Amino acid sequence: MFITNPEIEAYLKSLVHINDSVLEKMENLGHKLNFPIVDRLVGNLLYIITQIKKPKLIVELGSGFGYSAYWFAKGLEDGKVVLNDYKEENINLAKKFFKEGNLYEKAIFEVGDAVENAKKYNNIDILFLDHEKSRYLEAIKQLENNLSKEAIIIADNVLWHGKVIEEDKDKKTEKINEFNEYMSANFKTSILPLRDGVLIALKK
């Protein structure tokens, strides 16, 4: 089962040129540790969306060691990106990479439950969901009032290796289907079959 033809995906990757040794180092670490970073195609899209939107405040749920946040930070003009992870060692690694890439002052680093931490922020212009997939729906419900009027919600892995179209779904996949349906009904939503599925949504 694949979402995008793997040869097409390889072609798309070959066209994204990044000249940033820190990003490359992060990609290598992700691949070495088999850590689920959003990877280059999605990272590049986050960068482009940030450049179009010009957000003041981006909040991530589930930042790992900061790969996706690094792309957001590169796209920012004068806003900030909030990184959130409950594993302190991840956030420490992220700090190291952001320092190395001269992006440290564009970031705020938080350790703890992502949704609880995010509640401290208001007027979130981009909310990025990449923590526990079965908790996306409760996250968006809990954080809706923390979003700015024209906020963008972005969520990764919403096609969950294609499991969302299988007959016999496990609990986690069912939760993702529910999230996709909720977003499609209550927001202006586009789901892109990029890598593992990227949802982009605006308030109605």
Stretch 1-40: interaction string toward ligand SAM, x if CB under 6 A:
-----------------------------------xxx--
Q: Is 144 in the site for ligand SAM (CB under 6 A)?
A: no
Contact with ligand SAM (CB under 6 A): which of 50, 63, 180, 189?
A: 63
Residue 33 interacts with, from its own copies, ligand SAM, none (CB under 5-8 Å by kind): none
Q: Is 76 in the site for its own copies (CB under 8 A)?
A: no
Q: Is 131 in the site for ligand SAM (CB under 6 A)?
A: yes
Q: Identify the CA nearest to 30 among candidates 195, 201, 199, 200.
A: 195
Nearest approach in angstroms of CB 59 to its own copies is 17
- For residue 177, the cross-strand partners are none
**36 vs 131: CA distance, rounded Å:** 11
**125 vs 122: CA distance, rounded Å:** 9
Cα-based distances in Å from 141 to 55, 80, 153, 154: 21, 23, 12, 14
**Total chain residues near its own copies (CB under 8 A):** 42
Q: What's the CA angle centered on 147, arms 145 and 149, to 5 degrees?
A: 100
Cβ-based nearer residue to its own copies, 114 or 126: 126
Nearest approach in angstroms of CB 103 to its own copies is 17
Contact with ligand SAM (CB under 6 A): which of 49, 98, 121, 130?
A: 130
Q: Is 120 in the site for its own copies (CB under 8 A)?
A: no
Q: Identify the CA nearest to 78 among candidates 52, 57, 93.
A: 57
**Are 196 and 159 within 8 A, CB to CB?**
yes
Contacts with ligand SAM by CB under 6 A lie at 36-38, 62-64, 67-68, 84-87, 90, 113-114, 130-132
